[in-house]
Amino acid sequence: MSPSNKIANYEIGKAYNEMGQYGSALKHFKKALNGGIRNPEIHVFMGNAYQAQGQKSQAKSAYQKYLAKSPNGKYAKRVKKMMSRL
């Protein structure tokens, strides 16, 4: 997959997330990951989508992946707070 496709899938996933279409968002996020995207923030967005669908264990797993890759990242504090509520 070309770099532009993985970025496009990431951005499309974010747009679906914002529209509340979490299943479609996750589909595109997974395509972006399979395409080799390395942005750890994708795991935050995936966690949000899983959480919105009531899939708490998947949300927690996604948030943990983000924290493992970016323990001091811009979403770290927020992710830790969200995880404490799961």
Contacts of 62 (CB under 8 A, 6+ apart): 43, 44, 46, 47, 50
The structure's pTM equals 0.91
Taking CA atoms, 43 is separated from 13, 25, in Å, by: 11, 12
Of 4, 24, 2, residue with least CA distance to 14: 24
**CATH code linked to domain 3-84:** 1.25.40.10
Q: pLDDT at position 2, please?
A: 60
**Tally of helices (H runs) and strands (E runs) in the chain:** 5, 0
**pLDDT for 43-74, tens place per residue?**
999 999 999 999 999 999 999 999 999 999 99
